[in-house]
Each structure stands twice: as C-alpha cells, then as structure tokens.
C-alpha cells in the first residue's frame, strides 16, 4: 500500500465513523425507587418497567451499604445482569476523595466494568465569598478526579435546585471546566435545572455544560402553593409539568450525548417508592404499571428526537 493509498484509507475510515448513527440511548432506573425490593426482585421490577439499566444506590440505606461494597456490589450487579439489564452507573455517597469508603467503592465498581458514578453534596457557606469557595472546591474536585483516573471511572455531579453548589450550574462549570471530563463531569437533571431557570436559564446552563455532561436525569414538575401559601416544587408525571423534553432531547442529540439517561420517580402516589421507601403502601402491580407508563413516555420522546 502506497503512502497516498494509506492516507486515503484513513480518511475514508474517519468519514465513515463520523457518519455512523449513534446507538439509541438507554433508560436507566434509579434504584432508590425500587428500595422496597431486594436485589433479585429489584432487578426483576426494573425489567418489568421496561428500562435497559439500573443505577444502583451504593450509600447508607441503599441497595449496597458502603462498608459492604466489596462483597455486595458484585451480588447486586449480578442480579441486574441476570435480569437481562445493564448497570452502567451507581449513585454513591461520595462528596470528595476523603469520603468514607470512597476508594473501596471506586475499586469495586471499576472491577465490574462500571465506568460512571453519581456524586455530589457540596454546600455553600453564606459567611464566605462565593469565588473563594469555588477555588477551594476546585482543589477537592481535582483530588477526586485523580482518584478516578487511577480506577478509570468518571464522577458525575448531580444538579439539584435550591441553595447548594451545582443548583445554578454555572458554578459547576467554574469548578470543572479545567478537569478532564473523562474523570469528573455533570449529571444534568433537567427538571431541577428548569426549576432554577424555567424561561431560558436551563437552556443556557445546558449549553454551558454540554461538554461536561456525562449523564442526565429525567423527571417533571410544576410550581404550586403549599398549605402555607409558599411557592414550592410539586413533582408530576412526565408530560404534565414544565420540562420541555423535546427541546432538551434535541440539544442532547446535537451534542452527541451518549451517557446514561436516568428515570427518576419523585411524584406522589407511588406507594412510597417516590421517597425510597423500604416497603410499598400501594399494590406492587399498580406502582410498576405507573413506572412503566413513564418509561414508555420517555422512550417515545427519545425516539421522536432520534435518540
């Protein structure tokens, strides 16, 4: 093969890869909402719901207790695999590299081929300037990223709404933009982001952190008044709230997003599953049917978006 032929072959291969249609995104259920079931039943319930994967809780009170991660994460993982599902990520009780059991959790996850985990929980101190706090957090994140690099795993900071770090999203960009996104990035919760910026803020925040977005979480909500008259978030089934799923998913497609898409069930009426209850107070079949309806809704929206 001549040098010219070899170069042409490389160019053709690169062009083919760029035109390859990405694989469809897979739905992953947050196992907090199946906390009422042990490993085998939890995995079977996830399969009934119709998702492709499970985001296992590895935290106090979760499906895997952190101090037992070396023994129990492989067992929970195997239950998920036996049900024909994947476990692409875990949600861990890790705030930074010094969190209890952090390294043991990463070691156990990496050994199973799990390459992403949800992390977070930084808090603001209102007595200190925000720029000073963000500078201190950058150092802590870099230490965590170094640990992640050792185990070839990525941390995804979950975005909540409210007063904590990550709610406005721009602060996460300040903390993470100079960290290798292979090892630390964002788990973008579009409902919480919409609560923070319902008109255009969520759009700009999604654009800002698009290159850091390693995972996304889906749910829906409306603003409503509580009995005291205060405006609060009221979680709703998907399609009944404020979240603009078609627009958000179109943005994911444009960004060629390929991470785990997590389904969260936070609204009332799921027998306590919405709170991570250890026991359901509604018929199991009714809860599963509702969860399946939501999964079907999300899959239809993904299909419409070409994802």
Per-10-residue mean pLDDT, the chain, length 307: 44 50 92 98 98 98 98 98 98 97 98 97 96 97 98 98 96 96 97 96 96 98 96 98 98 97 98 98 98 98 98
Q: Could you tell me which of 167, 186, 168 has the C-alpha nearest to residue 176?
A: 186
CA 191 to chain centre: 12
pLDDT at position 46 is 98
Cα–Cα distances in angstroms (integers) from residue 176 to residues 52, 126, 172, 278, in the given order: 29, 21, 6, 35
Nearest 5°: the CA angle 171, 168, 256 is: 85
CB 146 within 8 A of CB 79: no
Q: Could you tell me which of 207, 291, 219 has the C-alpha nearest to residue 252?
A: 207
pLDDT at position 19 is 57
pLDDT at position 7 is 41
Q: Could you tell me which of 137, 184, 192, 199 has the C-alpha nearest to residue 168?
A: 192
Give the predicted TM-score (pTM) of the model.
0.92
CB 202 within 8 A of CB 190: yes
Nearest 5°: the CA angle 205, 210, 213 is: 105
What are the beta bridge partners of residue 231? 225
Domain formed by 25-304, architecture:
Alpha-Beta Barrel (3.20)
Query: What is the spatial distance between Cα 57 and Cα 273, in angstroms, rounded to a whole number?
Result: 14
DSSP for residue 273 = G
Cα–Cα distances in angstroms (integers) from residue 296 to residues 10, 275, 290, in the given order: 41, 22, 10
pLDDT at position 17 is 45
Query: What is the spatial distance between Cα 195 and Cα 176, in angstroms, rounded to a whole number?
Result: 22
Question: β-strands 220-225, 231-236: how paired?
Answer: antiparallel
Structure tokens at 124: 């603001």
Query: What is the spatial distance between Cα 190 and Cα 80, in angstroms, rounded to a whole number?
Result: 26
Structure tokens at 94: 């890790």
Backbone phi, psi, residue 221, to 5° = -160, 165
What are the beta bridge partners of residue 189? 217
Instruction: Count Cβ atoms below 10 Å from residue 30 Cβ, excluding itself.
Output: 23
Nearest 5°: the CA angle 119, 124, 129 is: 135
């Amino acid at each position: 093969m001549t040098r010219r032929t070899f170069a042409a072959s490389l160019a053709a291969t690169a062009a083919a890869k760029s035109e390859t249609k990405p694989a469809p995104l897979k739905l992953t259920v947050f196992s907090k909402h199946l906390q009422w079931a042990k490993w085998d039943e939890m995995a079977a319930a996830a399969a009934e719901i119709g998702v492709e994967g499970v985001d296992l809780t590895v935290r106090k009170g979760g499906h895997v207790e952190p101090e037992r991660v070396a023994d129990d994460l492989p067992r929970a993982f195997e239950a998920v695999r036996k049900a024909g599902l994947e476990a692409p990520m875990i949600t861990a009780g890790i705030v930074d590299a010094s969190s209890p059991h952090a390294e043991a959790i990463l070691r156990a996850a990496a050994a199973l081929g799990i390459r992403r985990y949800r992390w977070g929980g930084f808090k603001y101190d209102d007595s200190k300037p925000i720029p000073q706090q963000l500078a201190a957090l950058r150092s802590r994140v870099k230490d965590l990223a170094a640990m992640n690099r050792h185990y070839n795993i990525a941390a995804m900071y979950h975005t909540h709404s409210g007063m904590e770090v990550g709610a406005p999203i721009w602060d996460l960009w300040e903390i993470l933009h100079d960290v290798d996104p292979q090892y630390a990035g964002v788990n973008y919760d579009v409902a919480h982001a919409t609560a923070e910026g319902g008109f255009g803020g969520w759009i700009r925040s999604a654009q800002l952190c698009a290159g850091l977005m390693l995972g996304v979480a889906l749910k829906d909500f409306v603003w409503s008044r509580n009995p005291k008259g205060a405006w609060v978030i009221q979680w709703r089934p998907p399609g009944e709230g404020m979240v603009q799923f078609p627009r958000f998913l179109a943005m994911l497609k444009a960004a060629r997003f390929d991470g785990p898409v997590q389904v969260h069930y936070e609204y009332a009426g799921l027998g306590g599953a919405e709170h991570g209850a250890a026991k359901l107070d509604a018929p199991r079949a009714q809860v599963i049917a509702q969860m399946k309806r939501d999964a079907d809704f999300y899959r239809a929206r993904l299909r419409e978006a070409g994802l």
